[in-house]
Amino acid sequence: MESASQLYPENPKKNILLVGTPGTGKTTLAKRIAAVTSLTHLEVGKFAEEHNCLGSYDEQLDCFEIEEEKLIPLLVNALKPGGFLVEYHGCEWLASCKIDLVLVLQTETAPLYDRLKARGYSGRKLEENMECEIMQIILDEAYSFFDEKLIWVVPSNNEQDLEENVERVKRFLET
């Protein structure tokens, strides 16, 4: 007699991709979700660092370049088993990964501005991030790389939104 794993070789565990402009609350939500579900939080920037995919330091953008040719296959492989809550500001590099839901966080300009200020952003960096949110750059990117049926756009302005987003994800995992 065939075992269940032979009959159903696919692993049913889901991966959720959490995207949004810096400051929209991805890490905060990811930590809350990881605390109440079986999903493991995978922050793409940290993953890139741990897997030696960082290139040279970009003075203008104030961050390290990431060697995407090296990173993408590692991500594809790591995410194959499912069970991850993947956090990154954009989703292009995740396009060929197993992703079952893309959650796009959106924050109104006033609270986002305050959060980025509190993080110490100023000048061009602050402006660019505000513009990114206002122009819905991350949302457009999600629609260009993933099927719209997989994309949920959710508000992330306050504590109530946070609670509701945790509940949304719990319900999604139960289906």
Ligand X SMILES: Nc1ncnc2c1ncn2[C@@H]1O[C@H](COP(=O)(O)OP(=O)(O)O)[C@@H](O)[C@H]1O
Residues 96-135, mask of contacts with ligand X (x by CB under 6 A): -------------------x--------------------
Tell me the closest approach of the beta carbon of residue 5 to Mg ion, in angstroms.
36
What three-state secondary structure class fits 161?
helix
Q: Would you say 26 is a known binding-site residue?
A: yes
Choices 17-25, 44-52, 127-135, 142-150; region in contact with ligand X by CB under 6 A: 17-25
Residue 147's alpha-carbon distances to 65, 71, 133, 151, 172, in angstroms, are 28, 23, 21, 7, 17
Tell me the closest approach of the beta carbon of residue 11 to Mg ion, in angstroms.
27
Residues in contact with 87: Cβ distance below 8 Å, sequence separation at least 6, in sequence order: 18, 19, 26, 27, 30, 41, 42, 43, 44
Gap between the Cα atoms of 41 and 71, Å rounded? 17
Among Mg ion, ligand X, none, partner that 14 touches (CB below 5 to 8 angstroms by kind): none
Binding site for ligand X (CB under 6 A): 20, 22-28, 115, 156, 158-159, 161-162
Residue list, annotated binding site for ATP: 23, 25-28, 119
